[in-house]
Amino acid sequence: MRKYPIGDEPLIVSCIDSLRIKVTEKCPWACSFCHMEGGIYASDVAWSPELKDVINLIEQHISLKEIHYTGGEPTKNPHLAELSAGLCSLGLEVKTTTNGQFDEEELKRLVNAGLRSYNFSVHSLDPKRFLDTQGGKGLTWVEKGKTSSDIKVKRSNLSIEWAEKQIDKQKKMILSAKEMGLDVKINTVISSENDIENAKEVFEWSKAHNIPVRLLNDLGNGLTSIDAIRKFIDSLGAEEVMRKVTLGSSACSTIYRTKDRYEFGFKQIRDNKLESMCRGCSRIADGTCEEQFYGIRLQKNKDGQYYVVLCIQEDNAKTRMTVAEFLKSDQLKEITSYLYN
């Protein structure tokens, strides 16, 4: 595995201080590169004394600054405003990734609850190309009880008109959030060189509206995706100005600047294993590991218990455990060793 970022530019080093909460598994999209945060059959998360206790227990070991909502599509959780208010009451900053498929009334409700940071996932501004991305997992999770053939039929029924409405709503919500003075970013995935033209349109639209964009690699497409992003960056004539690394995590990013001073990021995965989890894993040996150890994820399963998820590919006692098990685990000891050494 190549180690990214590379170069000699200023380096910003931070520690793990974020908890990713999978607040729902529901999503109207079915993006081909979506890893669903490694979790399946998760319940919607609502604010409760139990969740407050879980957060407080984790904070006894890790000094949390922020909560990042993931899914599914977080805004499909009907409890999101109340959840945000509760988490903010603990002094935590709340952020979300979203596809923007909600309305201004919901946005105002979420903002009033304390959710003021939005990473919009924009995969294409062209309806046909957007439809090409809709061949992944999303619909398999929302269509419970359906067979794979049923789901294929549902996907084939997605129309250009549907795609146009999705894109128009997304652009409207992005601009509304920006006008409200919220923290707004745009994420776009480049899976291969076939996506470069698509990325150019998203990049130019983001730049025209002075909204930061982050290029994301397709974790399932390895170096093909990374090399395509490098080619796209080279075509912009951009220079590297900064690198960011999170200690104890595979998370890292490189910040670039174009000649007209627009800055954008390339979010990457670096070589960083959690030995207590990764040791002996066949994916490390055969090169199919996509993320190594990125961070701590929390979800509520259908059995009503909260689980900590540490890997998006493997589901075993090392990678998925109850909160009580996690608090006693070697994995937590290893994670905290990076925080205090």
Series of mean pLDDT values for 10-residue runs along the chain (341 residues): 48 93 93 83 95 98 97 96 98 98 97 98 96 69 40 61 96 98 98 95 98 96 95 97 94 96 96 96 94 96 95 95 98 91 58
Q: Report yes or no on 132 lying in a domain.
A: yes
Q: Report yes or no on 1 lying in a domain.
A: no
Q: Report yes or no on 5 lying in a domain.
A: no
Q: Is 244 helix (H, G, I), strand (E, B) or coil?
A: strand
Report pLDDT for 9: 61
Q: Which residues contact 73 (CB under 8 A, 6 or more apart)?
A: 24, 26, 27, 28, 29, 98, 99, 101
CATH number at residue 236: 3.20.20.70
Q: Report yes or no on 43 lying in a domain.
A: yes
Find the angle CA(19)-CA(293)-CA(118) to the nearest 5 degrees: 40
Q: Report yes or no on 261 lying in a domain.
A: yes
Report pLDDT for 36: 85
Q: What amino acid is encoded at 84 in this protein?
A: S
Q: Which residues contact 264 (CB under 8 A, 6 or more apart)?
A: 203, 206, 207, 212, 213, 214, 215, 238, 255, 256, 258
Q: Report yes or no on 329 lying in a domain.
A: yes
What spatial distance separates the first Cα and last Cα of the chain, rounded to whole Å? Answer: 26
Chain centroid to CA 280: how far?
27
DSSP character at residue 43: E
Q: How many domains does one find in the chain?
A: 1
CA dihedral 272, 292, 300, 215 (to 10 degrees): 90
Tell me how far apart the alpha carbons of residues 90 and 52 are, in angstroms, rounded to a whole number.
8
Report pLDDT for 95: 98
pLDDT digit string (tens) for 231-290? 999 999 999 999 999 999 999 999 999 999 999 999 999 999 999 999 999 999 999 999
Tell me how far apart the alpha carbons of residues 170 and 188 are, in angstroms, rounded to a whole number.
13
Q: Report yes or no on 158 lying in a domain.
A: yes
135 cis-preceded (ω within 30 degrees of 0): no
Domain that holds residue 202: 11-340
Report pLDDT for 5: 45
Q: Report yes or no on 325 lying in a domain.
A: yes
